[in-house]
Structure 1
Amino acid sequence: MPQHDFTKGSVRRQMISFAGPIMLTNLLQVSYQFIDSLWVGNLLGGNALGAITISSTIVVTLLAFILGINNATLTILSQQKGMNDKSGLKKYINAFVVLLATLSILVGLLGFIFSEQLLQLLHTPNEMLHEANLYLRINFLGILFIMGYNFIGTVLRALGDSQTPLKFVFVAVVLNGVLDPLFIEVFQWGIQGAAYATVLAQGFSFLLALIYTFHRRLVPFSIPTLPSREEVWLILKLGIPAGLQMMVIYAGITAILTVVNSFDGAVVAGFGASQRIDSLITIPAMALGTAVNSMAGQNIGANRWDRVRQIALYGAVYNVIIMLVIASVVYLFAEALTALFVKETDTVRFGTDYLKIIAFFYPFIGLNFILNGIVRAAGAMYQVLILNILSFWLLRYPLTFFCSHLIGQNGIALGMGISFIFSSIFAFSYFKWGGWRKKPLFAA
């Protein structure tokens, strides 16, 4: 599959062709979780579904920091690609492989050993503890697979290839969908079967990605060697704040849930259903954010700042158009969308009101993805971390808390929506007047 050189050619056409497969990849990853939950919930019941929900939350939270470091891959490798520095590209890929593999193995082993203590720390109900522990320990053993195929996909996108990672995710989703009922129902392995299905699907996809990229010579992998101090320092310099960004986001989402949980069960359930819809709605904006990160990174490496401005402009325009279209559909079909997940009248009513209120705020949250993606491409990770802290802790949580206490349950959506507007203003202000352009990552 050809890799894009984003330093030349039509920015407009490149963004469409590059972001499209990323959107499909993100959609498949959401469907992966949905299919997994569907099989477990229907074949093993509510307790098993609750057990994998709790266990998955722990895995994602502990992986947040490593995934954040992986996000630095886009910035460093895309700039190396733009600089046309083949030797530097190979060295940094090696450094990422060594660092991420070491961290993944360490987290996997510690998580396996202390899985039960982690579950008890979250006050996991006793009736779910045994199954949750089984599921969690198997997933910790497979963390290297999760990180492996995520890392290869990120490297390929940094090099301008968004189509090949789509194949690997598609294989994992299909294989997991086949193995889940086979292991759970036919082999009678219960919740362990669901865990094995997930790990094997990701492991097979990881091996396929390795073989495919080696055979096609898509990525300059080499036998791992100890990276230099300078390489490790740059990765950690970008990776640590990127990892903290992920942790700030997850902590912020948890804080919002404390506001939601102060209302009755109908609101909590309706909010949960709305968040599932939200996860689908924001896919285009997130995909555009990833696309502009890769595209801008290559052009920053090539010192093509005129094209960086074009990338920011087209990204913002595409985001507004796409998110307004989605917002209109959500507004018109809010009740039907909510009813896909829940049936109780009060729950559907809250979910419908929530979606109708927040729908037309979606373009603003999309602008955050675009502008932060451009800034992140220059390596301004600490600055994006500060913007995320402002977004979640100085805006979203306080505004949601205030509005919900002022006007009741509909204040949850209103407070979050208003925070999207202010977040985008802060992001645009830093993009326009901040110093993110002035500190090159690599010496000329």
Structure 2
Amino acid sequence: MKSVHLTEGRPLAVILRFTLPLFLGNMFMQLYNLVDTVIVGRFLGENALAAVGSTGTIIFLVQGLATGLTTGFTVLTAQHFGAMDPKGTRRSASNALMLSFGVILILTFFSTLFMHRILLIMNTPAEIYDDAYRYIIVICAGLFSIVLYTLGSSLLTAVGNSRLPLVFLMVGAVCNIALDLLFIPGFGMGTEGAAYATVISQVIAALVAAVYIGRKMPDLRPYRDFWRLDRGMAIRQIRVGVPMALQFGITASGTMVLQTAVNTFGPTAVAAFTAASKMSTLLTQGFAALGQSMAAYGGQNYGAARPDRIRSGVKAAMQIDVAYAALISILILLLLHPLMRLFFPAGTDTGKLMEFARPYIYFSMSCYIPLGMIFIFRNIMQGCGYGFLPMMGGVVELVARVIPAAVSMRLGSYLLAAACDASAWLTAGLFTAFAYHFYVIGRIEQRIRRGRARMDASPPAPKKE
């Protein structure tokens, strides 16, 4: 499968073709996460499901930091590829790998060291604390697998290959499901078994990605003289990666506060909220895939000095956003109650669970279009090398999620907790759209014009005798 230049062709068609494999890949990732949840709920019960669910926001924080950094490191790869610079493409890829090893060491050390304290701060109910800790500590110890897999997928996406990450995810998904069934009902390993299944499946996917890149992708395979850190390039990669990681971290901090609020309503509320949010997360993967596409699309077209295509690509992405939001809103209304039954053993009172699930779903679906806007505008800005404003979008999202969560705990109102995500999506969606339209796209055009002017003004190279 060859690399693809996103600098040619009709933007709507190009983005759709590029997004579809990413969407399927994200769906597979969420499906095997969903299978984790279903197997835990059906074989281990409501408390075990609540234990796994209560750690979801912590995993989102830690993995989000790792994903933000590694994805940010590869933005430069997309820009060099769009500029037809194979040497820069290879050097940025090897730099990204070396920087990622540092990310693994730092995140693994701090996440395992402070996990007990984090679970206590989050008001994790005593009934589920031990199961929650056993699950999350294995995930944190295996962070190297998600970092290396994400790096491989991000590098392939940067050079326009969105199909192979789907293949790698399918391999991981099949392994995860098989290992879940082996470790939980087979070996009776409890929530710890689900965590081991997740880590091992990610290791397998990362190995498959590494072997393929090493053998088949000359654009990304560094030669011997590239195995040293280019300090200047590393600084540029860190300047993009750190704001992306902080943006993930800020967003995840808000979801941790939301989870803390939900935890105060007891294990039943936690279990119902976990199931409902898993369903919503699964269906909204199209937005995440669209964001991944826009990062690669923006990076390549910025490198090719094509601001006109950046503008037209954003318009095409917004059309996709509106259509997709309408489709998944209909789906979740039809499937909510039947799918809730999948998460719990036969005989569970799903009526009580639906009292907690419905408000969250109704609030969330009302703001699916702004959620898509966050992914579109945040990623197009990051792909063009602008990290600060997307990070500030994360701050806006944090504030808009934390305020209703804090009031919810103060008043004992589950409805306010259920509205936290919708509040965050609406506010951050509007902020990122404003930042792109009224600041970033103008700066991009100015920067490209200045670059062209410098090239026109430079003297021609002397002719060889």
What does the per-residue CA deviation read over 1:190-213, in whole Å, with 9 as the maximum and x for residues that have no partner?
Answer: 655444433332222222111122
The reply to whether residue 382 of structure 1 matches residue 384 of structure 2 is no
Tell me whether 1:279 sits opposite 2:285 in the alignment: no
Query: What TM-score, normalized by structure 2, do the two folds share?
Result: 0.83
Q: Distance in 2 between matches of 1:260 and 1:121?
A: 13
CA–CA distance in structure 2, aligned partners of residues 418 and 46 of structure 1? 28
Which residue is 1:104 aligned to? 104
Q: CA deviation at 1:292?
A: 1.2
From the superposition, tell whether residues 238 and 276 of structure 1 become closer, same or farther in structure 2 (CA, over 3 Å): same
TM-aligned CA distance change 1:405 to 1:179, over 3 Å: closer
Task: Give 1:182 shift.
Answer: 2.5
Q: Structure 1 residues 146 and 428, CA, compared in 2 at 3 Å: closer, same or farther?
A: closer
Amino acid at match of 2:383: A
Superposed CA RMSD:
3.5
Q: Does 1:85 align with 2:85?
A: yes
CA 1:386–1:141: 2 relative to 1, 3 Å = closer
Q: Which moved more, 1:405-414 or 1:94-103?
A: 405-414
Q: Which residue of 2 aligns with 1:76?
A: 76
Q: Classify 1:73/1:275 alpha carbon distance in 2 versus 1 (closer, same or farther; 3 Å).
A: same
**Bigger mean CA deviation after superposition, 21-30 or 199-208:** 199-208
Match status 1:423 vs 2:449: no
CA contact (8 A) 2:122 2:256 kept: no
Q: Relative to 1, partners in 2 of residues 1:79 and 1:330: Cα closer, same or farther, differing over 3 Å?
A: same
- Which aligned pairs between 1:8-407 and structure 2 lie closer than 5 A? 8-44=8-44, 49=49, 52-53=52-53, 58-108=58-108, 135-136=135-136, 138-187=138-187, 193-217=193-217, 219-222=219-222, 225-260=227-262, 268-331=270-333, 334-338=336-340, 340-341=342-343, 343-393=349-399, 395-398=400-403
| CA shift in 2, pair 1:403/1:125, >3 Å | closer
Distance in structure 2 (CA, Å) of the matches to 1:208 and 1:138: 22
Query: Quick one: distance in 2 between partners of 1:81 and 1:290?
Result: 16
Please give the secondary structure, in 2, of the residue aligned with 1:434.
helix
Offset at 1:377?
A: 1.4
State the 1:128 CA deviation: 6.3
CA–CA separation in structure 2 for the residues paired with 1:109 and 1:283: 30
Matched to 2:426, the amino acid is I
Aligned pair count reads 443
Residue identity matched to 1:379: G
Cα pair 1:339 1:348 within 8 Å, conserved: no
Inter-partner Cα distance in structure 2 for 1:254 and 1:8: 41
Query: In structure 2, do the counterparts of structure 1 residues 243 and 44 end up closer, same or farther at CA, with 3 Å as the change threshold?
Result: same
Note the C-alpha offset of 1:306.
0.8
| Segment of structure 1 superposing worse, 249-258 or 281-290 | 249-258
Q: Aligned partners of 1:263 and 1:187: how far apart in 2?
A: 33
CA pair 333-59 structure 1, distance change in 2 beyond 3 A: closer
Q: In structure 1, how many angstroms separate the alpha carbons of the residues matched to 2:353 and 2:317? A: 36
- What's the CA shift for 1:93? 0.8
Structure 1 unaligned segments of length 5 or more: list them.
Answer: none
Once residues 42 and 340 of structure 2 are traced to their aligned partners in structure 1, the CA distance between those partners, rounded to angstroms, is: 20
> Taking structure 1 as reference, are residues 43 and 227 closer, same or farther at Cα in structure 2, changes over 3 Å only?
same
Quickly say closer, same or farther: Cα 1:308–1:266, change in 2 above 3 A.
same
**Is the contact made by 1:338 and 1:352 (CA closer than 8 Å) also made in structure 2?**
no
- Change in CA separation of 1:183 and 1:400 when aligned onto 2, cut-off 3 Å: closer
| Distance across 1 between alignment mates of 2:363 and 2:195 | 38
- Post-superposition Cα deviations, 1:51-73, rounded to whole Å, max 9, x if no partner, equal 55566655543343222111213
CA shift at 1:356, angstroms? 3.3
Residue type of the alignment partner of 1:364: P
- Matches of 1:130 and 1:410, distance apart in 2: 28
Deviation at 1:22, TM superposition (A): 0.9
**1:302, 1:325 → 2: CA distance?**
34
What amino acid is the match of 1:2?
K
**Correspondent of 1:438 among 443, 448, 463:** 443
Q: Deviation digits for residues 319-366 of structure 1, max 9, x if unmatched?
A: 001111222333455544555547432431443344334423211221
Contact kept, 8 Å, 1:183 with 1:189, in 2: the verdict is: yes
2: CA distance between counterparts of 1:21 and 1:146? 19
* Structure 1 residues 419 and 193, CA gap change in structure 2 (3 angstroms): closer
Taking structure 1 as reference, are residues 52 and 219 closer, same or farther at Cα in structure 2, changes over 3 Å only? Answer: farther
For residues 418 and 127 of structure 1, the distance between their equivalents in structure 2, rounded to whole angstroms, comes to: 30
Partner of 2:462: none
- Give per-residue Cα distances to partners, 1:109-129, cap 9 Å, x unaligned: 565677667666767677766
> Normalising to structure 1: TM-score of the pair?
0.86
Partner Cα distance (2:412, 2:119) in 1: 36
Q: Which amino acid aligns with 2:316?
A: Y
Q: Give the structure, 1 or 2, with the largest relative contact order (CA under 8 Å, sep 6 or more).
A: 2
Mean alpha-carbon deviation: is it higher for 341-350 or for 205-214? 341-350
Give, as a single letter, the amino acid of the residue that structure 2 aligns with 1:257: Q
Given residue 322 of structure 1, which amino acid in structure 2 is its aligned partner? Answer: Y
- Measured after TM superposition, the shift of residue 422 of structure 1 is 3.6
Deviation at 1:281, TM superposition (A): 2.6
Q: Deviations over 1:41-86 (max 9, x none)?
A: 4445566555555666555433432221112134222111111111
**1:380-432 alpha-carbon deviations (Å, 9 max, x no partner):** 11111112211230x34335666999996545555654553343332222111
Q: Deviations over 1:135-182 (max 9, x none)?
A: 555444432222111110111011111110111111011012112333
Report the more deviating stretch, 67-76 or 119-128. 119-128
Q: Give the distance between the partners of 2:432 and 2:192, measured in 1 at CA.
A: 44
Cα deviation code 1:203-247 (max 9, x no counterpart): 222221111222222642225623122122112111111111111
- Closer/same/farther in 2, CA of residues 260 and 58 from structure 1, 3 Å limit: closer
Q: Deviations over 1:8-42 (max 9, x none)?
A: 11212111111011111111111122222333444
Indicate the percent of aligned positions where both proteins have the same amino acid.
25
